[in-house]
Amino acid sequence: MTSERGATAAQRPDPDAEPRITRLGVGGTAPGMAGAALAARIVVAAALGAQIVAMLLVGTYARRGPQLWGLPFFYWYTLLWLPVGAVAMAGCVWLLGRFPARPGQARPSRQDPPSKQDRGSVLSDRTSQPSRSGRVYRLGEHPRHDRAMLAEQRDPDAEPGQPVRPTRIERPAAPGEPSSGEGPGT
Amino acid sequence: MTGVAADAEPGATFHGEQFTVFAVLFVAVAVVGFWASRWRRGGGGGPGATGGAGGKGGLNSLDEWGLGGRRFGGFVAWFLIGGDVFTAYTFVAVPGAMYASGAVSGWYAVAYTTMMWPIFFVIMPRMWDVARRNGFVTPADLVRGRYGSQTLALAVAVTGVVATMPYIALQLVGMQAVLEVMGVGAGSGNGFVRDLPVIVAFGVLAVCTYTAGLRAPALLAFVKDFLIYLVVAVAVVVLPHRFGGFGHIFDAAGAKFDASNAAAVAAGRRPSATLVPGSKDMLAYATLALGSAMALFLYPHSITGVLSTRSRDVIRRNAVVLPLYTVLLAFIALLGYVAIAAGVHTTNPRLAIPLLFDHEFPAWFAGVAFTAIAVGALVPAAIMSIAAANLFTRTIYVGYLRRDASAAEQTRVSKIASLLVKVGALVFVLGFDTQNSINLQLLGGVWILQTFPAVVLGLWRPRLHRWALLAGWAVGMAYGTTQAYHQHSLVAKHFGGALATVPGVGRAGYIALTAFALNLVIAVAGTLVLRAVRIPNGPDTTWDDELRPATVAEAEVPVPAQLRKAGVALLDGPVAPPPGDQPPPHADL
């Protein structure tokens, strides 16, 4: 599968972003990722669309027999789609979580490119977050960001291409607010 | 046990035991509603809340009052969204329609609530995402941010308010059906005595909502759903068995429909009752289901319920378990056939289910069932009035009257508007014929679907042109309204039904969907034309995903304490600053 992600990464002006992205398992070293994400979205669309189409094709189920517990086919067939649909949507939740389009966004990009007069300058790196102090941190740069990233710093032997699933981003604390330190427990 | 014929006059006698149970439970519910303002208060008992900037305002910001602080987790959201979508009127009207005319006008509700969850799954996480990033509270906010058009936002807001008002009124109609069967005010010629319980119930609701905002219906939704599930579980286990199983029940329903169709043909009318739709009814069935499924999540109150959740994943995961409500609705719908088999006779189909409970359950359990329906009227009515009030405040008040209104002022205006909306609905139901509410609700469905191109297509880019959308909306509204006006039925000279012949097809279809198709064609074609002649679209100030202005001074924006504390799940994306006391980025348009 071709890598949509790889293509955009190659055009990205900031080469510094690359290792971080790779580290998160969504970058160039995992070329199948974007293709897999796209495929996951196609599967999701098909699973969701099938439920709607099945209900709309009334001619396929508007009949009395065979009956189930006295319910005509028309009625129990409609009801049958509820558990089928619920299981399908559970699968969709799993797929979208397993194959995010990119970190911080679980949906493929389908915007037109930003036009300058509309919204001024745009962050060059998709994964960066503006911080409270105004400085723009890239994913993983923030000192209290992510346990996975902290682990990386302490563990130089980690394989560079190894995808690491990010856990949480810590928002910087408000000024004057007691620093929340490590994790959500405190 | 054979069926018991209902009294000719359902409200002939007062059922004291039922009403006592009803009153006691209702007072308990009211206490819960009043307690709600203390529940999960910003900075208070909520998990992870620290009393930081997000909580200091208490209920003085629209996010706190109107969206419950945007921090409801999966469990609360499930009850809230379910309580929002499946209303008392649904629980009375759907089995009523099954009782009167079977599949096309009754069972389609099950089909539409089946196919609406995939739609929900696609639209709502995105809606949450965009709303969260930009601090939107209502769909009209989104339209203003996306298209840069105050006029289009006004059109969406007015449509939303006008479509929601009769919906609130219908909740009262559902409650009245229950009270009528209990015989409240029976024998009293004084209309005020008869309506007093409804007035008291709405007064309680108004005060709860005024003080607690969205927290009140969220908490009441627990009570409501517990009662409804209990009643339906008992009804489904006990009643079909009592009438010889579903096979016999469907036979009885088929026999009744055959008889009523024969009578209709003899009287020179079209037969309308169907157990299984025939080939002529299929288009009507499918378009009713699809149109209703698309319309439901455009109603401002369903958007309010969704925006109050904590994260996008909460919404997705909820879509997996929310179909349980459809199962519930299906069982309730089938109770309409059970009522036929039980020999309930009434000319008012809305009374079929209350009468069934009245005859088949012991008095105290009928009281429980009636409480469930009445509380089921209050929960959506509260959410609807909050949603309508937010629409008014954000679009009309801030957009046209006071552009520099502070968050506290917006909340104050919203609270008062929610009271006015409820009083308006009450006056409408008590002062006018019920049929007016039903007509208007029918029109509301037609109208709200006309906001689909602006709101739902506005979630993604490329966007359509604002003037093309406005033109499509206007044409859709006009077409839908005139078509509905020309429909007549036995009980109504105008607005007699939701179906009209689809031009070019020759079969009856849902008016709303025909109007929507027209609307969409005009919006798309108009956009192409306007682009070709280079008429500029409005500025798009909505932050999408990564496309955010880098100039955001985040230092000024309070991060909610809960987000700060618990961290932000990475897969939910960078969370935009919530509005707090700052005006949203589009406020100066």
What string of DSSP letters covers B529-547? HHHHTTPPPPP----BTTB
pLDDT in tens, A34-61: 777 788 888 888 888 888 888 888 888 8
Tell me the C-alpha distance between A95 and A72, whole Å.
35
Among the partner residues A109, A112, A177, nearest to B462 by beta-carbon distance: A112
Class of domain B16-38+72-277+315-441: mainly alpha
Tell me the C-alpha distance between B448 and B432, whole Å.
23
Task: List chain B residues with pLDDT less than 50.
Answer: 1-11, 43-57, 548-589
The pLDDT confidence band at residue A71, using thresholds 50, 70 and 90, is confident
Does position A72 have pLDDT exceeding 60, yes or no?
yes
Cβ atoms of residues B540 and B152 within 8 Å: no
- The CA angle B76-B80-B85, to the nearest 5 degrees, is 150
Running DSSP on this structure, what letter comes out for residue B311?
Answer: -
Decide if A142 is inside a domain: yes
Is B95 strand, coil or helix?
helix
Running DSSP on this structure, what letter comes out for residue B12?
Answer: S
Decide if A177 is inside a domain: no
- B396/A contact by beta carbon, under 8 A: no
Decide if A48 is inside a domain: yes
Tell me the C-alpha distance between B509 and B493, whole Å.
19
> Which residues in chain B have Cβ-Cβ distances shorter than 8 Å to A101?
none
Decide if A172 is inside a domain: no
Tell me the C-alpha distance between A122 and A140, whole Å.
20
Q: Which residues pair with A137 in a beta bridge?
A: A129
Does position A13 have pLDDT exceeding 60, yes or no?
no
Closest C-alpha among B171, B184, B192, B185 to residue B430 = B192
Helices then strands (H, E): number in chain B?
A: 23, 3
Q: For the residues of B365-418, what is the DSSP string, one character each?
A: HHHHHHHHHHHHHHHHHHHHHHHHHHHIIIIIIIIII-TT--HHHHHHHHHHHH
Decide if A91 is inside a domain: yes
Q: How many CB atoms lie within 10 A of CB A148?
A: 16
CA distance B194 to chain A (A): 39
More confident site: A85 or B104: A85
* Cβ within 8 Å, pair B53-A174: yes
> What are B271's two structure tokens?
């037969």
**Paired sense of beta strands A168-169 and B568-569, if any:** antiparallel
Q: Domain range spanning residue A141?
A: 4-108+126-154
> What is the reported pLDDT for B521?
92
Burial class for B532, CB neighbours closer than 10 Å (0-12, 13-18, 19+): exposed
* Cβ within 8 Å, pair B320-A86: yes
> What is the reported pLDDT for A22?
34
Q: What type of residue sits at position B218?
A: A
Domains identified in chain A, total number: 1
CA distance A2 to chain B (A): 23
Question: Chain centroid to CA B474: how far?
Answer: 23
> What is the reported pLDDT for A17?
37
Q: What type of residue sits at position B392?
A: F
CA distance B190 to chain A (A): 45
> Which residues in chain A have Cβ-Cβ distances shorter than 8 Å to B316?
89, 92-93, 96
CA distance A84 to chain B (A): 10
Decide if A42 is inside a domain: yes
Number of A:B CB contacts under 8 A?
Answer: 202
Among the partner residues B50, B326, B571, nearest to A82 by beta-carbon distance: B326
> Which residues in chain A have Cβ-Cβ distances shorter than 8 Å to B558?
174
Is the complex ipTM higher than 0.90? no
> What is the reported pLDDT for B505?
74
Does position A5 have pLDDT exceeding 50, yes or no?
no
The pLDDT confidence band at residue A143, using thresholds 50, 70 and 90, is very low
Farthest-apart Cα atoms in chain B, separation = 76
Does position A118 have pLDDT exceeding 50, yes or no?
no
